[in-house]
Amino acid sequence: MWIYEKKLQYPVRVSKCDVRMAKYLIEQYGGADGELAAALRYMNQRYTIPNKVVGLLTDIATEEFAHLEMIATMVYKLTKDATVEELKEAGLGDHYANHDRALFYNNASGVPWTAAYIAAKGDPIADLYEDIAAEEKARATYQWLIDMTDDVDLQDSLKFLREREIVHSMRFREAVEILKEERDSKKIF
């Protein structure tokens, strides 16, 4: 069961009408290392991983959906008042031909999202290392997105998302440490 909360996790303010940025931001919506892939990856791993880390996967997956909504908000704000001409100039002519201004789960190059982005090996260590890598790749993507805009308000929201990848990576690395512990042994940290 999931409950929706009618607010963003972090305020999203876009101050510059830079339609082209929407094309780039969509990478984190429907790209390989994007928020949709992240949320579904962690959600799906919960069924085949030791109980000790199921709570963490559930919580991080849930937070990823909040991040997905933040990215959607950025794209929505940048495209809702864009004319067809502006969309074409921004490289979104192909998108408009298929989707008008509808958001779609594809990456910055228009490649549709695919389940192949989600690894699920069933080996707890392999899957957690996959998650750590996914967080670092998402962190890098946020860096490149921050580099591509000079809108300080948009950068602010992207910096928040970048920092969250760091914290998630930290938690997944701790999860690996927890799974390395011997059963029933006590560990003082």
Partner 1 sequence: MTAENRFGDEQYYALLEQLQAIDFVLVELSLYLDTHPTDQNALQQFNDLTEQRWVLANEYEKLYGPLQNLGRSYSGYPWQWNDDPWPWQV
Partner 2 sequence: MHSQTRDYYPYVGPYDPCPPIRVKTYQVPPHLFMTFQPENLPQYSPMEALRLGTLWPALFSPYDPRLSHLGRGHS
| Catalytic residue ranges | 35, 64, 67, 135, 165, 168
> Contacting partner 1 (CB under 8 A), which of 12, 36, 49, 132?
12
What are the Cα distances from residue 185, in Å, to 56, 64, 145, 172, 182? 21, 32, 44, 20, 5
CB 1, min distance to partner 1, A: 8
Residues 145-164 that bind partner 2 (CB under 8 A): 146-147, 155, 159-164
Question: If binding is defined by CB under 8 A, does position 143 make contact with partner 1?
Answer: no
Question: If binding is defined by CB under 8 A, does position 95 make contact with partner 2?
Answer: no
Longest dimension (CA), the chain: 65
Which range touches partner 1 (CB under 8 A), out of 27-35, 68-76, 133-141, 151-159?
Answer: 68-76
Rounded (5°) CA angle 139-140-146: 90
E strands of 62-187, at which residues? none
Per-residue tokens: 88: 């074409």
CB under 8 Å to 173, separation ≥6 — which residues? 132
The rounded radius of gyration (Å) of the Cα atoms in the chain is 18
Task: Provide the binding-site residues for partner 2, judged by CB under 8 A.
Answer: 10, 139-140, 142-144, 146-147, 155, 159-164, 166-167, 169-170, 173-174, 177, 189
Task: Provide the binding-site residues for partner 1, judged by CB under 8 A.
Answer: 3-12, 53, 55-56, 59-60, 63, 69, 72-73, 76-77, 167-168, 171, 174-175, 178, 189
